[in-house]
C-alpha cells in the first residue's frame, strides 16, 4: 500500500523510516574520516566537525561539515554523502540527481578557490561533479554564502506582488468585495508569503530588506484603500489598519522567541542553541500593534451605496 501525494501521514512515515539513517551514516562516516591519513590528525586535534544530526525534513536533507580549509570540508562531505547513498541504495531508494547543491561558507573573497565535490550517481559507475553555487534554496529559504537573505526577500516580495494582482480580480474601488474583506485576505494570505522565514533574516538593521518588503506592502495599501499613489503611506496604514512592515517583523520575531522559551531543554531545537542563550526567561510578546479595524457599517460606504443602486436598477429593468 502506498501513501497519497501530499498526505499528512507521509512526513511521519518518512521520519520513522529515515531516523536510523542519521545515526548509522554519521557513525560510518566518522569511522572513514578517522581512518583517513589526511583527516585523522585533524580529528585528533578537534579541528574538523561533521554534524551528528544530519538535517532531514521529509525528503530534503543537508550534510554540514566544518574544517580549517575548504578542501577538507569538501572531502568530508563526499564521505558522508557516499555513506548516505549506500544506506539508501541498500534499502531500494534513490537520490534525486538534479537537486544536489553545494555551498561553502568562508570569509575569503576568492570564490575561485571553492572546490567542487564528486558524488556517486544511481548508476554506481559514474561520479557526478557538483560545483559550488552562490544561491541555494532549502526549506523555502533562499540564502547565499554570506547569509544576507537579500535574494530570498526579493523572491518572496515578488510572490506577494503576484498574489496582490490576483486579488484585483475580486474587486476594485467601484465594485467587488469591500475593503474589510480585502484587508482580511491580505493579512491571511499575502502577508505570510512576504514574511516567510522572517525570524531567520530579520535583524532590524538591514534597510534593503525593509525597503523591499515596504514596496510590496505599499502596493497592497493603495489597492485596499483605493487611494492615489501619491497618498502618504502613514495615512494608508491608518486607514487600512495595517501596521508598518518593520513593526510586523519585530512582532513575529518576539512571538517566535516566546515560543522557543517555552520549549523543554531536551527538545532537539533547543539542543541546537548555545548554552548562554538558553536562559529561563519567559518573554511575553505584546499583541501586534496596529490600528483597530474600522466598523463594518463604515467600511467603504460608497461601495455599499453602489451595490444598492445596482440592485435597484436591476429591479426596475425587471419590472
Q: Are residues 52 and 109 in the same domain?
A: yes
Q: Are residues 160 and 271 in the same domain?
A: yes
Q: Are residues 160 and 205 in the same domain?
A: yes
How would residue 112 be classed by pLDDT, with cut points 50, 70 and 90? low
Residue identified by cell 506582488 is: 161
Residue-wise pLDDT tens digits, 148-175: 899 999 999 999 999 988 888 887 767 7
Q: Are residues 220 and 264 in the same domain?
A: yes
Q: Are residues 113 and 164 in the same domain?
A: no
Q: In this structure, is residue 319 part of a structural domain?
A: no
Q: In this structure, is residue 161 part of a structural domain?
A: yes
Q: In this structure, is residue 311 part of a structural domain?
A: no
Q: Are residues 178 and 295 in the same domain?
A: yes
Q: Are residues 25 and 100 in the same domain?
A: yes
Mean pLDDT of the chain: 80
Count the domains in the chain: 2
Quick one: pLDDT at residue 155? 94
Q: Are residues 147 and 254 in the same domain?
A: yes
State pTM to two decimals. 0.73
More confident residue, 295 or 278: 278
Q: Are residues 88 and 156 in the same domain?
A: no
Q: Are residues 162 and 30 in the same domain?
A: no
Q: Are residues 123 and 242 in the same domain?
A: no
The three cell numbers locating residue 111: 570564490
More confident residue, 215 or 93: 215
- Owning domain of residue 237: 141-302
Quick one: pLDDT at residue 281? 47
* Nearest to 198, CA basis, from 146, 157, 243: 157
Q: In this structure, is residue 3 part of a structural domain?
A: no
Q: Are residues 146 and 294 in the same domain?
A: yes
Amino acid at each position: 500500500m502506498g501513501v497519497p501525494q501530499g498526505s499528512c501521514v507521509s512526513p511521519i512515515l518518512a521520519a520513522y523510516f529515515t531516523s536510523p539513517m542519521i545515526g548509522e551514516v554519521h557513525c560510518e562516516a566518522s569511522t572513514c574520516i578517522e581512518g583517513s591519513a589526511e583527516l585523522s590528525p585533524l580529528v585528533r586535534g578537534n579541528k574538523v566537525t561533521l554534524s551528528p544530526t544530519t538535517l532531514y525534513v521529509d525528503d530534503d536533507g543537508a550534510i554540514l561539515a566544518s574544517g580549517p580549509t575548504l578542501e577538507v570540508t569538501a572531502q568530508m562531505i563526499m564521505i558522508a554523502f557516499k555513506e548516505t547513498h549506500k544506506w539508501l541504495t541498500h534499502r531500494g531508494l534513490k537520490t534525486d540527481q538534479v537537486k544536489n547543491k553545494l555551498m561553502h561558507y568562508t570569509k575569503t573573497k576568492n570564490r575561485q578557490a571553492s572546490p567542487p565535490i564528486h558524488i556517486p550517481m544511481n548508476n554506481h559507475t559514474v561520479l557526478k561533479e557538483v560545483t559550488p553555487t552562490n544561491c541555494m534554496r532549502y526549506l523555502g529559504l533562499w540564502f547565499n554564502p554570506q547569509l544576507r537573505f537579500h535574494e530570498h526577500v526579493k523572491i518572496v516580495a515578488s510572490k506577494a506582488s503576484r498574489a496582490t494582482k490576483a486579488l484585483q480580480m475580486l474587486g476594485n474601488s467601484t465594485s467587488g468585495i469591500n475593503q474589510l474583506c480585502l484587508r482580511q485576505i491580505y493579512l491571511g494570505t499575502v502577508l505570510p508569503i512576504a514574511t516567510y522565514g522572517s525570524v531567520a533574516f530579520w535583524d532590524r538593521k538591514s534597510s534593503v530588506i525593509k525597503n523591499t518588503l515596504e514596496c510590496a506592502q505599499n502596493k497592497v495599501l493603495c489597492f485596499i484603500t483605493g487611494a492615489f499613489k501619491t497618498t502618504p503611506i502613514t495615512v494608508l496604514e491608518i486607514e487600512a489598519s495595517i501596521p508598518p512592515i518593520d513593526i510586523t517583523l519585530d512582532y513575529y520575531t518576539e512571538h517566535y522567541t516566546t515560543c522557543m522559551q517555552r520549549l523543554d531543554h531536551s527538545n532537539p531545537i533547543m539542543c541546537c542553541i548555545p548554552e548562554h542563550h538558553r536562559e529561563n526567561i519567559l518573554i511575553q510578546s505584546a499583541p501586534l500593534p496596529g490600528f483597530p479595524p474600522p466598523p463594518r457599517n463604515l467600511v467603504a460606504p460608497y461601495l455599499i451605496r453602489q451595490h444598492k443602486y445596482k440592485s435597484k436598477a436591476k429591479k426596475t429593468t425587471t419590472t
